[in-house]
Structure 1
Amino acid sequence: MSEEFNQEQTTEQSKKVKKEKSTLAMLMSGVAGGVIAALFTGGIFLNMINDEKAVSSEDSNQNEQTEQTSSEEAVPTTNLANQSSNSIGSAVEKVSDAVVGVSNIQQISLWEESDAAGTGSGVIYKKDDEYAYIVTNNHVVEAAQEVEVILTNGEHVEANVMGTDELTDLAVLRIPSDQVSTVAELGSSDDLAVGDTAIAIGNPLGQEFAGSVTQGIISGLDRAVDIDLNNDSQPDWTTNVIQTDAAINPGNSGGALINTNGQVIGINSMKIAQSQVEGIGFAIPIDDAKPVVEQLETGNEVVRPFIGISAIDLSTVPQRHIQETLQLDESVENGVVIAQVEPNSPAEESGLQQYDVVTKLNDKNIESMLDLKKYLYNETEVGEEVNVTFYREGNLQTATLVLNEQNNME
């Protein structure tokens, strides 16, 4: 997710991302725990997001272009526009009743009754004979004492929180299935291309504008965004997101980003909120969300393979430290530099050390922490043996480690 996922409206929280340090010592200054430290995405982008507040997803309008034919029986452009509008309308109609409001209810003080501390959105993605399941953002339900789902007919239904995952900013809720008539169809985010139409559905600013629809395009794929989970101004995690110019406002978080077939391709999650920035919103790719949601809906924590290192991208290290401290020649251009090795971790047991530069896991080239994360979490399992290729003081070496289990980053 370098954006903090904020709790919508009144309890909006902001978490800040720290810029790249100018020296290796500062770069190595400690990312807590775990498999991954930070992915520094570079100058302009980090400057844009350094002061941002992450708020729920934003959708911007895109004008559909119409084509004119040169044939004698040319179709009027107005008809083509109507066809495009009808296509989007059909897609929205297909899924809109499956996009619900989510109310985070807390008791603010001892002397006041519990009330909605914030609102967001959610997507009904599954239904069986007993229950219907709703995916939303973790930050929408974070710290809630109770959670209510507000259906499109205005009915409020108490929901059970089945599971939450801070790293992916996902949560799964459950309500009785007899309350639900429409279930969203999940599509594929892996098939997306930049320029594809993107439609966002959610409840910006709460229930007053429930079911709002905004249209834009897919502005970028595989965007790496750093987030600070423990609010120490250090990036703790890097999340992979879809960038869209569809308008995103408080209350949209957890809502659906859909394609023109009415299929959910992403879960709206955050935006860059700066006066000089317009139309940069992010959604969690649905193909990344699916395996997490499957674990959360059973009430289980998300299990992830664990190496036990914090690290930074080699590309962020000043050149003089690459030569003097790491002793790398110019042929080594990519990799991750180990900042810390956690005690009693697979990394320590395999002999990995601070300043080792990891360039491969098994046969997968590791050019960044995002590469490492994607490979580790998508291609490996707890208990699996992994070969690590790395440079130490300029010399190429290999090590073998067995992945442990880690439920949460500390």
Structure 2
Amino acid sequence: MTMNYNKQKQKTTYWRGIFSGLVGALVLGLTFLLIGYGFNYRVQPVHSQEQPLSSTDFENTITSVVDKTRDAVVTVSNYQNQQNLQNALPFPYNQFQNQEDSQGQEQGQDGGIDLDKFDSQQVLTATGSGVVYKVDGKTAYIVTNHHVIDGADSVEVTMANGDTLEAKIVGSDSLSDLAVLSIDASKVTQTIEFAKSEDVKVGNIAIAIGSPIGSEYASSVTQGIVSGLDRQEQVDSDGDGNPDWEMTVLQTDAAINPGNSGGALVNSQGKLIGINSSKLADETIEGMGFAIPADDVAKIAQELEENGQIVRPQLGVSMYDLSAISLNSRQEVLKLDENTTDGAIVVEVVAGSAAEEAGLQQYDVITKVNDTDITDSQSLKKALYDYKVGDTITVTYLREGKQATAKITLKAPNNQTNTMQGSQN
């Protein structure tokens, strides 16, 4: 009896061991499986982050930006007095002036068109775009291009919803090609925030909003990218046919057409990265538009609000580019060596000017302003305009081939008109 009991006990122990081993293996396997799953779960990237932006996402970005900004972009109309209205009217209306009808009566009398009463009326001379960037109490401020409102006797602004308001020119500046207008704020529903120019990168989305060709196409939207930064554009601010300023602009391939001038170029967040100002127009060129960077716009707009004009410092000299004169003149008249080709020649010193007080003389060749090299008259202007009236700068110049320096405290000009090549500053 004792032996049989022991055998039965051994059998029971044996099966318990097998069962325990199976359970242990199962638990161990599940443990490794769960650990492995958890590890994979933690380290695997989220699937959506691996996918490119879908067309739907891209479209939603564009439409969201347009919804956020479009009502802040307006049409700007430039009206000017027209004394000889018949020259501005289309055929056949321009034929009525001083013509006799079949009964010997001059048109304009007894049922004809009397153009005399139109003599002092204003006609639409130009249209462009503008951007509402600020509301202060009952007044809203719009930035546009100077060339859009240049010569205007009155200006009207048409909102995106079609409401037309009279606008006041707060200030305008030809060199920066910017102007600020003000309107009644009661019709304004949106403003656009300025981006920081340092955050703008080549390849960023660029969305242009404006009124190409005219108000008929108001609130038109085109899309592209930022194609380039710090492009240099020649500006003829006085209309003499010679460039007298070099403007720094950003380049975009978003379609820019006549009428887009003064309109918004915004990024994918709906912030203003530039004011559209110009394009290269040629049958061999496509997609090269330019905008004034947001930092420059914000700075100029603020000063125009405060002063109505941009007060730039002047040395009080007339200048000429050293590179524009012959080698013989550089050597014989200015006493320079043959390797000196860059600089701005002082042609004339204005009496009582900062330059005269500092001792600059005719035929001095300015080569530096502080640490900035001066290559020509334009670069001298650009260097000076980084400073304010009252700032003191160090000017390096050559006099009969010998280098010298002068400390000059900058003054305000008597007026804002510059003549260039020879250029005055």
* Match in the other structure for 2:421: none
DSSP 3-state at the match of 1:93? helix
When residues 213 and 319 of structure 1 are mapped into structure 2, their CA distance, relative to the original with a 3 A threshold, is farther
CA contact (8 A) 2:156 2:166 kept: yes
The alpha-carbon deviation at position 150 of structure 1 amounts to: 0.4
Indicate the residue corresponding to 1:229 in structure 2: 237
- Aligned ranges for residues 185-200 of structure 1 at < 5 Å? 185-200=193-208
State the TM-score, normalizing by the size of structure 2. Answer: 0.72
Q: Please tell me whether Structure 1 or Structure 2 has the larger radius of gyration of its CA atoms.
A: 2
Unmatched tracts of structure 1, length 5 or more: 1-70
Q: Which moved more, 1:308-317 or 1:240-249?
A: 308-317
Aligned counterparts of 1:259 and 1:326: Cα–Cα separation in 2 = 51
2:308 to 273, 279, 300: 300
Q: 2:393 is matched with which residue?
A: 386
Could you tell me how far apart the structure 2 residues matched to 1:340 and 1:235 are? 20
Q: How does 1:260-409 map to 2 (within 5 A)?
A: 260-298=268-306, 300-311=308-319, 325-329=333-337, 334-367=342-375, 369=377, 371-378=379-386, 380-406=387-413, 407-409=415-417
Q: Say if 2:115 is the partner of 1:107.
A: no
Q: Which amino acid aligns with 1:356?
A: D
Report if aligned partners of 1:162, 1:174 keep a CA contact under 8 Å in 2: yes
Output the CA distance in 1 between the equivalents of 2:411 and 2:127.
Answer: 37
1:257: Cα distance to partner? Answer: 1.2
User: Contact 1:339–1:355 (CA<8 Å) still a contact in 2?
Assistant: yes
2:376 and 2:66 mapped to 1: Cα distance?
A: 38
Matched, 1:80 2:15: no
Higher relative contact order (CA 8 A, sep 6+): 1
Displacement of 1:331 in angstroms is 6.8
Query: 1:101 Cα deviation (Å)?
Result: 0.5
User: Following TM superposition, by how much is the alpha carbon of 1:325 offset from its aligned partner in structure 2, in angstroms?
Assistant: 5.0
Local SS of the residue matching 2:198: coil
Is contact 1:224–1:370 with CA below 8 Å preserved after alignment?
Answer: no
Match of 1:138 in 2: 146
Q: More helix per residue: 1 or 2?
A: 2
Pairing 1:94–2:68 present:
yes
Instruction: Indicate which of 267, 287, 301 corresponds to 1:259.
Output: 267
Whether the aligned pair in 1 keeps the contact of 2:344 and 2:365 (CA below 8 Å) is yes
Residue 58 of structure 2: SS of its match in structure 1? Answer: helix
Unaligned runs of 5+ in 2: 1-44, 85-114, 419-425
Cα distance change of structure 1 residues 258 and 314 upon mapping to structure 2, 3 Å threshold: farther
Cα deviations across residues 210-248 of structure 1 (Å, max 9, x unaligned)?
111112232332222222233322222222222222221
Deviations 1:100-149 (A, max 9, x none): 01111223235334332221100000002211100111111122222111
Partner residue in 1 for 2:180: 172
- 1-side partners of 2:135 and 2:48: how far apart? 47
SS at match of 1:144: coil
Give the match for residue 29 of structure 1. Answer: none
How far residue 346 of structure 1 moved from its aligned partner, in angstroms, is 1.7
Offset of residue 258 of structure 1? 1.2
Q: Residues of 2 paired with 1:254 and 1:199: CA distance?
A: 14
Tell me the secondary structure at the aligned position of residue 303 of structure 2: helix
Task: Note if contact 1:253-1:268 (Cα within 8 Å) is conserved in structure 2.
Answer: yes
Q: 1:242 aligns with which of 239, 250, 262?
A: 250
**In structure 2, which of residues 124, 127, 143 is the aligned counterpart of residue 119 of structure 1?**
127
**Offset, 1:305:** 1.0
Which moves more between the two structures, 340-349 or 253-262? 340-349
| CA shift in 2, pair 1:362/1:72, >3 Å | closer
Contact 1:305 1:376 in 2 (8 A): yes
Q: What fraction of aligned residue pairs are identical, expressed as a percent?
A: 47
Q: Which moved more, 1:176-185 or 1:354-363?
A: 354-363
Residue 206 of structure 1 pairs with residue 214 of structure 2: yes
Q: C-alpha separation between the residues in 2 aligned to 1:322 and 1:386?
A: 26
Does 237-246 or 74-83 show the bigger shift? Answer: 74-83
Matches within 5 A, 1:147-186: 147-186=155-194
1:32 counterpart residue number? none
Aligned residues of 2:73 and 2:210 also touching (Cα < 8 A): yes
Q: Report the residue type matching 2:164 in the other structure.
A: H
Change in Cα spacing, 1:384 to 1:152, as seen in structure 2 (3 Å) is same
Give the corresponding residue for 2:106.
Answer: none
In structure 2, do the counterparts of structure 1 residues 91 and 355 end up closer, same or farther at CA, with 3 Å as the change threshold?
A: farther
Determine helix, strand or coil for the equivalent of 1:405: coil
